[in-house]
Amino acid sequence: MQNLHQLISKECSAGTANFWKASEILLKSPHLINRRILSSAQISVYRLKNVNSAEIYEWFVNQKKEITSPSNIEDELFKSLKSLANGNIELVKCSLEDVDFIHKDNESMYFRLAKLIPRHVNTFSNTLELSLIDLNSNILTFSFLNYDREKKSLGFEYSYQIKYKKDNVSIHIQNIECWQENSNLSWFEDCFFPKLIKWIENDTPKNSLINGSLKLVSSEEYTDLYNNLKLKYGAEMIKIWPENTDPLKFVFEDVAIATYLLLIWETERKRLNLKDKQSFLDLGCGNGLLVHILNSEGHPGLGIDLRKRKIWDLYPESTHLEVKTIIPSSKSLFPDTDWLIGNHSDELTPWIPVIAARSSYKCRFFLLPCCAYEFDGRKYQRESSSVSQYNDYMQYIKDVSENCGFKTDIDKLRIPSTKRICIIGTDRNYAPSDFESQNLKIQSIVSARSNGLQNEDSWSSTFKPRESVEKVRNCTKVNKNLISSIIEIVVSLLFHKARLISLENGKTWNAGGEIELAQVAEAIDTESLKQLKNECGGLQTLLRNNGNIFKIESGSKKKKPKISTVKRKIKDCWFHINHPDGCPLTDEECDFIHSHEKL
């Protein structure tokens, strides 16, 4: 490649197998390292035969000059590629799953096209990612083309390579002078490369039920619909949000869940040739926003919760919500409902597949578990120490679903939550004529996992729903003076480890230093820590909930004056009001409001 410069390198003895395992993650899931990317959709993969390596690399970095029609990029690329070696090059179409990254031969070179889909479609364009996978030389090369030149690219203007040679990993870039002008080098050095090295050196696979996300829907369709729904419901809902919870989290989370369900249901209508939109029942609907969106998009349905929320009064009459306590029994069946929804349904979580299975043969369910509960309301006890409690519980709920007779799918959502895995029960694995006998089997499963026997009013006599007046456990309810005093303590500790940042106006800004969480805890009296633990989950939860001030990374806190590229302008800027140097950003640049005076 011409004008190729080594940017960064590191000794790494993990081996070529681990290098290609990490490269495969990068190819399949670039969103894990570039947060501007929502997902990647593979277009095609070709194995190259009868190629000259030098010629193919030269073509790869110069092919942009030959692309004349963005609407027909793929055809033009392959027309240009086939012209190499006087037309003797052979292209064998395959998929990334066909690529053997471990066992190589003399013709182990592949050319791949994928479409990168942006999180923010108003700013970034869909981007064509071209990758050249050279297994024999242990080189992975990337180049990018924009679909819309009026928007920013998700890739880079010039090509770059990742190499593994003699226990050394390095990144090489084309036209380093142009990269320096665009200030992209720091991202490679500070973000991309450390993450890549971590993937290469970590050869222990994670215990997980699923790899990847949005496996059951089209990433492109998801992006389009999510952005439409976000504009349609999100912005206005944030403005009027009356609850104590953070609207930036809960609103966009429910918009994302609604997007996913709408696409799942659209696919189902096409598969089953259904004309009417599916009906639903959301058990434990909470703030009711998910119900509101689904109702507004034409799906008949109802949300039930054991207590009313303030926001319910702000929804139109077309949004159907009801205060009711659900006790799993023959009185809590819904034979006319197509889908049951359990979104963080807590004590009802293991019951959702059971209620769906016993309601009717055609009733399906969507479940997004959070807190782990048993059938009788007890906290779930982990059965396998080899995995996390969360993964263990997800496997348990999956087993419950399958034992209830459901064809069960698992997927991972793109939501602002650590609990993102959903379980979906659709078709049955038994005949309609076996419906009654399956009910008996289900009851035996419940009885085996529950301390209470069934009776007329309950399938588990010891099941107890939570109280209708629930103790709120979040930092918005903790004594404000306590919160302020703890924040002041943390800030003073960080300021003591001052780290000055130079601003464009020639001034410096104190960004604070780093400190261990244990050191922070030592500086706070025991009684305050105990109160914090009882009311909001503890010190770390308080700091995380104040992400506009602090950043927690592997147990240490950092100041983070700008936490997002999205201008939300919902909350007051803490730095503008409290920081001695003010906010380092201008009113236009900052995501937060600067209208209030400094204290």
pLDDT (0 to 100) of residue 500: 78
pLDDT per position as a tens digit, 332-357: 999 999 999 999 998 999 999 999 99
Give all strands (DSSP E) within 18-96, no chain letters: 37-49, 90-94
Helix (H, G, I), strand (E, B) or coil at 126: coil
pLDDT (0 to 100) of residue 474: 46
Q: Which of 119-128, 368-377, 477-486 has the lowest mean pLDDT?
A: 477-486
The DSSP output letter for 93 is E
pLDDT (0 to 100) of residue 69: 57
Nearest to 375 by CA among 424, 437, 304, 447: 447
pLDDT (0 to 100) of residue 324: 93
**Do residues 426 and 401 lie in contact, with contact meaning Cβ atoms separated by under 8 Å?**
no
Q: Which of 78-92, 344-358, 386-400 has the lowest mean pLDDT?
A: 78-92
Instruction: Provide the token pair at 37.
Output: 């990317």
pLDDT (0 to 100) of residue 547: 78
Q: Which residues pair with 115 in a beta bridge?
A: 41, 128
CA separation for the pair 182, 160 (Å, rounded): 15
Helix (H, G, I), strand (E, B) or coil at 465: coil
**Do residues 199 and 22 lie in contact, with contact meaning Cβ atoms separated by under 8 Å?**
yes
Q: Considering the chain, what percentage of its residues have pLDDT values greater than 90?
A: 32
The DSSP output letter for 311 is G
Cα–Cα distances in angstroms (integers) from residue 343 to residues 286, 310, 357, 371, 475, in the given order: 9, 19, 18, 11, 22
Over 60: is that where the pLDDT of 99 sits?
yes
Grade residue 565 by pLDDT with cuts at 50, 70 and 90. Answer: very low
pLDDT (0 to 100) of residue 101: 78
Beta sheet of 139-146, edge-to-edge order = 4-11, 168-174, 160-164, 139-146, 127-134, 109-118, 37-49, 90-94
Instruction: Provide the token pair at 325.
Output: 């306590």
CA separation for the pair 320, 314 (Å, rounded): 12
pLDDT per position as a tens digit, 8-47: 889 988 889 899 999 999 998 898 888 888 888 888 888 8
Q: Which of 172-176, 208-212, 284-288, 580-584 has the lowest mean pLDDT?
A: 208-212
User: Alpha carbon 291 to chain centroid distance?
Assistant: 22
Nearest to 447 by CA among 437, 434, 460: 460
Give all strands (DSSP E) within 369-461, no chain letters: 406-412, 421-428
Alpha helix segments (H runs only) across 286-422 = 289-296, 351-359, 389-403
Q: Which of 54-58, 105-109, 110-114, 475-479 has the lowest mean pLDDT?
A: 475-479
CA separation for the pair 378, 463 (Å, rounded): 8
**Do residues 457 and 329 lie in contact, with contact meaning Cβ atoms separated by under 8 Å?**
yes
For the segment 501-525, the average pLDDT, to the nearest whole number, is 81
Over 70: is that where the pLDDT of 501 sits?
yes
Contacts (Cβ under 8 Å, ≥6 apart) of 97: none
Cα–Cα distances in angstroms (integers) from residue 83 to residues 54, 59, 64, 70, 356, in the given order: 15, 10, 15, 20, 58
Over 80: is that where the pLDDT of 177 sits?
no
Over 50: is that where the pLDDT of 237 sits?
yes
For the segment 582-592, the average pLDDT, to the nearest whole number, is 83
For the segment 483-488, the average pLDDT, to the nearest whole number, is 82
pLDDT (0 to 100) of residue 417: 81
| Greater pLDDT, 561 or 326 | 326
CA separation for the pair 132, 54 (Å, rounded): 12
Over 80: is that where the pLDDT of 368 sits?
yes
pLDDT (0 to 100) of residue 559: 42
Long-range contacts from 67-73, C-beta under 8 angstroms, 24+ separation: 67/145, 70/145, 70/146, 70/147, 70/149, 73/128, 73/145, 73/147
Over 70: is that where the pLDDT of 475 sits?
no
**Do residues 282 and 341 lie in contact, with contact meaning Cβ atoms separated by under 8 Å?**
yes
Q: How many CB atoms lie within 10 A of CB 180?
A: 12
CA separation for the pair 131, 23 (Å, rounded): 11
Nearest to 388 by CA among 398, 396, 378: 396
Q: Considering the chain, what percentage of its residues have pLDDT values greater than 70?
A: 86
Over 60: is that where the pLDDT of 207 sits?
no
pLDDT per position as a tens digit, 279-311: 999 999 999 999 999 999 999 999 999 999 999
pLDDT (0 to 100) of residue 470: 53
Over 80: is that where the pLDDT of 63 sits?
no
Spell out the domains of the chain, with CATH numbers in brackets.
4-201 (no CATH), 219-450 (3.40.50.150), 480-589 (no CATH)
pLDDT (0 to 100) of residue 560: 45
Q: Which amino acid is at 31?
A: H
Over 80: is that where the pLDDT of 566 sits?
no
Instruction: Provide the token pair at 489.
Output: 């303590």
pLDDT per position as a tens digit, 371-391: 899 888 888 888 877 788 889
Q: Which of 447-456, 514-523, 525-534 has the lowest mean pLDDT?
A: 447-456
Name, of 240-249, 323-332, 451-460, 563-572, the range with top average pLDDT: 323-332
The H or E element containing residue 221 is helix 219-229
Q: Which residues pair with 164 in a beta bridge?
A: 169
Q: Which residues pair with 168 in a beta bridge?
A: 11
| Greater pLDDT, 320 or 157 | 320
| Greater pLDDT, 4 or 342 | 342
Nearest to 214 by CA among 87, 385, 39, 359: 39
Instruction: Provide the token pair at 95.
Output: 């998929």
pLDDT (0 to 100) of residue 453: 61
Average pLDDT, the chain: 83
